[in-house]
Amino acid sequence: MLCCALMACKKVTVDFTYEPTAPKAGESVTFYNQSSSGEEWSWNFGDGAVSTIKSPSHTYKQPGTYRITLKVDDKSSLTATKEITVYDTIPSFTVSDSTFVIYKDYTFTASVYNPFNYEVKYLWYRPAQETIEEYAQITDTVLTNSTLHLYFTRPMSAASIGLRVILNGDTTYIQKEYEVQNRFTNSVYFRTPKYDFQQRIYEEKSAPLQQLADRAAILDYEQDTFQTYSGYDFTLSELAEVFPGLEGFHICSRKIYFRANGLWVANIDGAYLVQIDSLACSAMSLDTKDNRIYWANENGVWYMPFIGSDNNKFITTPVLLNDLVGVSKLAADCAQ
């Protein structure tokens, strides 16, 4: 009985190895199950193939990086996961996604079968003119690594990415083309003494400023002196009794963000008053889709997430969106 109890308490470990460690496409890979116990095995090789053999073999038809999962006795707690990189005998490169849109990060990775550890040199480029910056923003400092990180800045039917690989004195040129699609997102609009501007916002990235030609009505409609919230009309004059010096306001989630010799936030009843920016705020707007507040001061346009805590303390730091000065109006949360 004691022996059985000790065996039941013994921790089960799940692990595996594989050979060869740097396989090429079309080469059989053997997976060695090194789990300490178990009676049922469930393998997922990351390319759609599965197996229930204890130590199976599998052949990858295409180069790339695949995630392998081994589950023992159909228990999610008894799972091991590893990645395997499958190389092509001819140098190539893969990308982290299968569809492409503007202002989203992508990683391109060279696949070079190099079992003898020869010196390898890389150069990423646009095949036609050896520059990519015309339609993409590269986030790497150099173009001679085995990976390339970038995001596309405009839609294209055929955005070309090229790679030159020198391996043991042999040079290979690889060229691939990708269709890059546009996508809907929020925009922020700005009014200055001379021009109106638009800037599209993509998660953690922002497109360059564009001068407006046909959307001035959006800014004309924007105001921060009156708002209906929870069935009640809030006016500038009424709120000025609670918040002296009030110049403009927006209300969201029972909090009021307002301009009054700087930018402030408080609960709707005036409690927990906190200053967000000490500089004079000339305009502000709330983006209720992405939960951001935008405002303008003498240094440019800034943003940060909505204040979420009950006492209105914020843990994020305001971020400079652009250096546009003289902004008299802001309008956000406009899907374009």
CA distance 6 to 288: 58
Domain boundary among 86, 113, 128: 86
Residues 315 and 229 in one domain: yes
Q: Is residue 112 part of a domain?
A: yes
CATH number at residue 141: 2.60.40.1080
Residues 104 and 70 in one domain: no
Residues 122 and 228 in one domain: no
- Angle at CA of residue 191, ends 186 and 192, nearest 5°: 140
CA distance 220 to 302: 21
Residues 266 and 165 in one domain: no
Number of domains in the chain: 3
**Dihedral (CA of 123, 126, 130, 133) sign:** negative
Q: Is residue 1 part of a domain?
A: no
pTM above 0.75, yes or no: no
Three-class DSSP category at 186: strand
Among 93, 136, 138, 83, CA closest to 113: 93
8 A C-beta contact, residue 181 and residue 153: no
CA distance 208 to 200: 8
Residues 148 and 243 in one domain: no
Is pLDDT above 50 for 6?
no
Q: Is residue 21 part of a domain?
A: yes
* Residue 201 exposed, middle or buried by CB count within 10 Å (0-12, 13-18, 19+): buried
Is pLDDT above 70 for 200?
yes
Residue-wise pLDDT for 226-240, tens only, equals 999 989 999 999 999
Q: Is residue 205 part of a domain?
A: yes
Residues 192 and 175 in one domain: no
Please state whether beta strands 100-101 and 170-181 pair in parallel, antiparallel, or not at all (unpaired). parallel
Q: Is residue 331 part of a domain?
A: yes
Is pLDDT above 50 for 246?
yes
Residue-wise pLDDT for 74-101, tens only, equals 998 999 999 999 998 889 999 988 899 9
Residues 175 and 299 in one domain: no
- When pLDDT is cut at 50, 70 and 90, the band that residue 336 belongs to is low
Among 32, 200, 149, 119, CA closest to 43: 32
Is pLDDT above 50 for 130?
no
Q: Is residue 123 part of a domain?
A: yes
CA distance 79 to 240: 61
Instruction: Return the higher-pLDDT residue of 185 and 107.
Output: 107
Residues 196 and 324 in one domain: yes
8 A C-beta contact, residue 189 and residue 201: no
Q: Is residue 311 part of a domain?
A: yes
Domain boundary among 181, 200, 226: 181
CA distance 330 to 249: 12
DSSP state of 97: -
8 A C-beta contact, residue 224 and residue 191: no
* Amino acid identity at 265: V
As a whole number, mean pLDDT of residues 297-321 equals 89
Q: Is residue 316 part of a domain?
A: yes
Domain boundary among 181, 211, 236: 181
Residue-wise pLDDT for 34-53, tens only, equals 999 999 999 999 999 999 99
Q: What is the span of the domain harbouring residue 119?
A: 92-181
